[in-house]
Amino acid sequence: MTNVADAAPGQAGAPKRTSVRGLLAATEIDLRLFGMLVALGAILLTFNILSGGKFFQPTNMITLAVQASGIAIISTGMVLVIVSRNIDLSVGSLVGVIAMTYALVMTDWMPNVLGIAPDFPFRWVIALGFGVLLGAMIGALQGFIIAYVGVPSFIVTLGGLLSIRGVVWYQSNGAAVVGLDPNFQLIGGGAQGSLGGTITWLLALVGCVAIIWLIINGRRQRRRFDFPVRPMWAEVLIGGVGCLAVLGVAAFANAALWPEGLANRIAFEQGWGPTPEGGWNIPTGIPLPIVLLLGVTLVMTWMATRRRFGRYVFAYGGNPDAAELAGINTRWTILKTYVVMGILCALAAAIAAARLNGATLDIGVSYELYVIAAAVVGGTSFAGGIGSIPGAVLGAFVMQSLAYGLSFMGVNSPGQNVVAGIVLIVAVGFDTFNRRRGS
Amino acid sequence: MSIKRLTAFTLSAVFVAAACSSGGSSSAPSAAASSASGADCTVGMSWNNFQQPRWAAHDKPNMQKTVEDAGGTFIDADANLSNEQQLTDVDTLISKGADVLILLAQDTQAILPAVQKAKDAGIPVVAYDRLIEDSSVLYVSFDNVAVGRAEAEAILAKVPTGNYVLIKGDPGDPNASTFLPKGWDDAGLAAKVASGDIVLLNGPDGTFTDAWATEKAQSNMEAIIDKAVADGTTIDAILAENDSTALGVVGALTAKSYGYPPLSGQDGDPANLTNVAQGKQYVDVWKNANELGKAAGAAALALCGGADMASLALPAGLIDAAVAPDVLTVTDFVTPGNNTMNSFILKPTPLTAENLQLAVDGNQISKEDLCKGVDPASAPAACQ
């Protein structure tokens, strides 16, 4: 990873150690993640140059992020599944069946069976509840068959891939179902499904404070237990860069404005008065699917690294026999990874259905491939025991930035697939090479 | 030849009288004499996959009614997507006494042994909706190039000049890469691009959509909108090849709050017809399967009566005037495998807000579903 290390910023004021590698080690930055960030930046920069500076615009980056959000959310769960030496091929079909359920709940069941009026404000909560419950149940069933009956996960979820997609057909006789609840549609993002300027800034400030608090708290804890602490310059650097990055993203997102037509229409409907000179200029801020992704990433990372469940998953993946002998209820742990997967699929399905304002027979098709690709590009190893949730999210963004960028440049889908496949192999190959050299 | 022609004509006359009961147009003297052939005729139909809702809702009832109204018998079998099962089904239909076979082939090549078997038994074969590569077969289908032509004609009439976006289907499907674009060009797209009246925003080939997937079409369209906004150009019209891609385009336009430039599609999917009623999609080219069923039923009965395939004509008034000329006659059809076949080719119907009532009348969608979420102030005629 020397090329990555060379690109590392800010070694100013370096005290005793002189090598770049040594300095990076002092900051305890995850080199893999850092390398992926650099790779992502390089991809975006390349597209920006190729498009003559038209690519790296706030609106475009928001589109890219929203398009990546569904895959990224599921990939956080796929990390746990792959780490525990299993696989889940059924995620695409699960997204399909849950998206169709959302659509049916809102267009058919609620008005016709449950008798809930169309203007009831919490229809989206009921729909989401249905979907999450369904996802968890299907996940639990698959997890049970894998963990307790002992059928290999590849087989169980391959069966799920086929049969659950078949169920989607029966739900609507193959027809698309459209016309969702307006509030539910906000989950899909768009100008109205975004936080807006003020809340985006507030969220960024909270994030900034949280970073600083985490650093201070971490340092205090390490002191208390006599753990080695990072040098002060590293702490300040990480806090400063982290804080600036969060605020920068917020500023960038707020530079995206509502489309003029929409702003004028809402202004007219709400009676805001005459259009000011130069248009309304309403900042969109961070879209809701990204907020959802952010929340999922935080919770999943916390579960994987700070909770017993997550530690058990990694322990089992590292050495199943040792984990079993250590008294871990491994079956229950495996089952739970699939329940988590089902819930994450329900969230991704909500984004997909909300974005489309409906569900089609083919929603979620081949998600399993993108999700697995995102997880392995993000450093999850099929040998088990190794994987990173933020890495998988970054992996999803790397893959989607290629797809979106090529699409933006007018490259057709066969070309996109060629590039995506090569990048997948190169990324994992590079990683394997590095690990071997490291060990 | 002339005698066969006469037989075909008189047969036709019978079917008009039987199926439409309007009966007035023809007064063939021998009608009564040849009506017996309809009564004796058993029409065997082999479906490749009856699970698709379309067959049960539209094709089969119309086909069956056409046959039974003329006094014939209708039997059918479903191969459930299996080539092998379809060969067995054809055997069964023949042994049940079918005098004529209508085949919706699972595969244009794999069906050939069954066709040969029918030929050996002296049973005429009709290829329904999907081509069979055999020049002895009568091909009854919609004109797929005309679908593309109808899409482009409607959009070009609405937006004669401006910036166009082309959204195509799966790159591996000849419909997506060849037939539909040929129809667009026939309607004048190529000429207008050459003359500079129309600018293609997303390249001369447009954007393909893997597996015709709605989500993929949506992601692609979002990138195209972003690009157009970044370039400072406007999208004036969008040619989408079918309804699943058009649905994705509408999703992208909505997510981007872009407004709804005229957009094409085909299939008459209920979700898209609702979008037409709401003004989110301009035209949906619809292949009226009811009429296709009637045409195949009538053609089978005529063949049953021993009519010469090359001079077959469907009875006047049987088929809706929107999809075929008054008396539909057999035309030559050159297949991709370079066989010249006899064929009945029907025209697709472009549905816009003005004539959505046709879809309701044809049982394609209920009025309630069509008009769901339509603003009463700007509702099309079919929703008032």
Q: What is the pLDDT of residues B313-323, one digit of tens each?
A: 888 888 888 88
A60: which chain B residues are within 8 Å (Cβ-Cβ)? 226, 230
Sign for the pseudo-dihedral over CA of A269, A275, A278, A280? negative
The proportion of chain B whose per-residue pLDDT surpasses 90, expressed as a percent, equals 61
Q: What is the pLDDT of residues A125-153, one digit of tens each?
A: 999 999 999 999 999 999 999 999 999 99
Containing H/E element for A220? helix A197-224
CA atoms within 13 A on the CB side of A408: 29
Angle at B224 between CA B222 and CA B227, to 5 degrees: 110
Q: What is the pLDDT of residues A195-236, one digit of tens each?
A: 999 999 999 999 999 999 999 999 999 999 989 888 889 899
Burial pattern B332-362, b for ≥16 Cβ within 10 A else e, equals: ebebeeebebbbbbbbbbbbebebbebbbeb
DSSP letter string over B148-196? HHHHHHHHHHH-SSEEEEEE---TT-HIIIIIHHHHHHHTTHHHHHHHT
A178: which chain B residues are within 8 Å (Cβ-Cβ)? 247, 271, 274-275
Distances (CA, A) of B45 to A28, B35, B62, B78, B134: 72, 22, 13, 9, 18
Token look-up 């080199």 returns: A31
Contacts of B348 (CB under 8 A, 6+ apart): B142, B143, B146, B147, B150, B266, B285, B286, B287, B288, B323
- In this prediction, residue A438 carries a pLDDT of 65
pLDDT: which is higher, A3 or B295: B295
- In this prediction, residue A54 carries a pLDDT of 94
**Would you say A31 and A4 are in contact if contact means Cβ atoms under 8 Å apart?**
yes
- In this prediction, residue B20 carries a pLDDT of 42
Nearest to residue B181, comparing CAs of B156, B217, B206? B206
Q: What is the mean pLDDT of residues A65-89?
A: 97
Containing H/E element for B334? strand B331-334
CB–CB of B215 and A179 under 8 A? no
Containing H/E element for A351? helix A330-356
Is the pLDDT confidence value at B112 over 50? yes
Cα–Cα distance for residue pair A279/A261, rounded to 1 Å: 10
CB–CB of A408 and B215 under 8 A? no
For chain B, domains (ranges, CATH) are: 2-142+288-347 (3.40.50.2300), 145-287+351-383 (3.40.50.2300)
Is the pLDDT confidence value at B268 over 50? yes
Nearest to residue A135, comparing CAs of A166, A170, A99? A99
Cα–Cα distance for residue pair B319/B348, rounded to 1 Å: 12
Cα–Cα distance for residue pair B365/A176, rounded to 1 Å: 13
Distances (CA, A) of A188 to A73, A149, A181, A253, A342: 14, 38, 12, 16, 19
pLDDT: which is higher, A3 or A286: A286
Cα–Cα distance for residue pair A147/B11, rounded to 1 Å: 68
* Alpha helix (H) residue ranges in chain B: 2-20, 31-40, 53-54, 60-69, 83-95, 112-120, 144-158, 174, 180-186, 189-195, 214-231, 243-255, 270-278, 289-304, 357-361, 367-370
User: Collapsing DSSP states into helix, strand and coil, what is residue B229?
Assistant: helix
B256: which chain A residues are within 8 Å (Cβ-Cβ)? 190, 259
Nearest to residue B265, comparing CAs of B324, B336, B350, B353? B350
CB–CB of B222 and A179 under 8 A? no
How far B239 CA lies from chain A's nearest CA (Å)? 16
Chains A and B: how many Cβ contacts under 8 Å?
Answer: 119
Beta bridge partners of residue B207, listed in sequence order: B167
Distances (CA, A) of A170 to A96, A163, A342: 12, 11, 20
Q: What is the mean pLDDT of residues B283-290?
A: 93
Cα–Cα distance for residue pair A277/B279, rounded to 1 Å: 31
Cα–Cα distance for residue pair B140/B342, rounded to 1 Å: 9
CB atoms within 10 A of CB A58: 16
User: Collapsing DSSP states into helix, strand and coil, what is residue A198?
Assistant: helix
User: Collapsing DSSP states into helix, strand and coil, what is residue B346?
Assistant: strand
Is the pLDDT confidence value at A173 over 50? yes
Contacts of B98 (CB under 8 A, 6+ apart): B42, B43, B44, B75, B123
CB–CB of A57 and B231 under 8 A? no
Is the pLDDT confidence value at B36 over 50? no
Q: What is the mean pLDDT of residues A31-46?
A: 92
pLDDT: which is higher, A38 or B320: A38
CB–CB of B270 and A262 under 8 A? no
Nearest to residue B177, comparing CAs of B202, B208, B155, B203? B208
**Would you say A290 and A207 are in contact if contact means Cβ atoms under 8 Å apart?**
no
Burial of A196 (0-12, 13-18, 19+ CB in 10 A): middle
Residue B329 banded pLDDT, cuts 50, 70, 90: confident
Q: What is the pLDDT of residues A293-337, one digit of tens each?
A: 999 999 999 999 999 999 999 999 999 999 999 999 999 999 999
Is the pLDDT confidence value at B28 over 70? no
Tokens of A99: 């998206």
Burial of A281 (0-12, 13-18, 19+ CB in 10 A): exposed
CB–CB of A363 and B269 under 8 A? no
- In this prediction, residue A4 carries a pLDDT of 39
Substitution target from A63, A266, A268 for chain B, most B beta carbons within 10 A = A63
A357: which chain B residues are within 8 Å (Cβ-Cβ)? 251, 254
One-letter-per-residue 3-state SS of B64-110: HHHHHHCCCEEEEEECCCCHHHHHHHHHHHHHCCCCEEEECCCCCCC
Nearest to residue A412, comparing CAs of B284, B176, B242, B229? B176
Nearest to residue A135, comparing CAs of A296, A342, A414? A342
Nearest to residue A131, comparing CAs of A362, A371, A354? A354
Residue A18 banded pLDDT, cuts 50, 70, 90: low
Beta bridge partners of residue A177, listed in sequence order: A359
Contacts of A243 (CB under 8 A, 6+ apart): A208, A211, A212
CB–CB of A176 and B274 under 8 A? no
Q: What is the mean pLDDT of residues A155-178?
A: 92
CB–CB of A67 and B222 under 8 A? yes
CB atoms within 10 A of CB B40: 12
Could you tell me whether strands B162-167 and B138-142 are parallel, antiparallel, or unpaired per DSSP bridges? Answer: unpaired
pLDDT: which is higher, A31 or B47: B47
Contacts of A407 (CB under 8 A, 6+ apart): A416, B207, B219, B220, B223, B224
B73-78 sheet: strands from edge to edge:
B73-78, B42-47, B100-103, B125-128, B138-142, B340-346, B331-334
Is the pLDDT confidence value at B14 over 70? no
Cα–Cα distance for residue pair A205/A195, rounded to 1 Å: 14
- In this prediction, residue A165 carries a pLDDT of 93
Q: What is the mean pLDDT of residues B25-35?
A: 36
Cα–Cα distance for residue pair A129/A121, rounded to 1 Å: 14
A404: which chain B residues are within 8 Å (Cβ-Cβ)? 219, 223
Contacts of A410 (CB under 8 A, 6+ apart): B202, B203, B207, B227
* Alpha helix (H) residue ranges in A51-119: 58-83, 91-104
Is the pLDDT confidence value at B45 over 70? yes
Q: What is the mean pLDDT of residues A20-49?
A: 87
Q: What is the mean pLDDT of residues A369-387?
A: 93
**Would you say B101 and B90 are in contact if contact means Cβ atoms under 8 Å apart?**
yes
B214: which chain A residues are within 8 Å (Cβ-Cβ)? 176, 356, 360, 362-363
Q: How far apart are the first and last CA of chain B?
A: 53
Is the pLDDT confidence value at B22 over 50? no
Q: What is the pLDDT of residues B358-377, one digit of tens each?
A: 999 988 999 999 998 888 88
A259: which chain B residues are within 8 Å (Cβ-Cβ)? 256-258
- In this prediction, residue A439 carries a pLDDT of 59
Q: What is the pLDDT of residues B229-262, one digit of tens each?
A: 999 999 999 999 999 999 999 999 999 999 999 9
Is the pLDDT confidence value at A8 over 70? no
Token look-up 């006899």 returns: B342
CB–CB of B202 and A59 under 8 A? no
ipTM, two decimals: 0.89
Find out if CATH 1.10.3470 is the number for domain A30-190+287-438: yes
Task: Tell me the whole-structure pTM to 2 decimals.
Answer: 0.85
Side chain identity, residue A71: I
Tokens of B347: 């025209």
Cα–Cα distance for residue pair B218/B205, rounded to 1 Å: 18
CA atoms within 13 A on the CB side of A219: 15
B218: which chain A residues are within 8 Å (Cβ-Cβ)? 355-356
Q: What is the pLDDT of residues A255-305, one digit of tens each?
A: 999 988 888 888 888 888 888 888 888 999 999 999 999 999 999 999 999
Containing H/E element for A354? helix A330-356
User: Collapsing DSSP states into helix, strand and coil, what is residue A79?
Assistant: helix
User: Collapsing DSSP states into helix, strand and coil, what is residue A257?
Assistant: strand
How far B271 CA lies from chain A's nearest CA (Å)? 6
Beta bridge partners of residue A105, listed in sequence order: none
Query: What is the residue-averaged pLDDT of chain B?
Result: 87
Please give the residue of chain B at the shortest CA–CA distance from A194: B255
Sign for the pseudo-dihedral over CA of A170, A174, A175, A180? positive
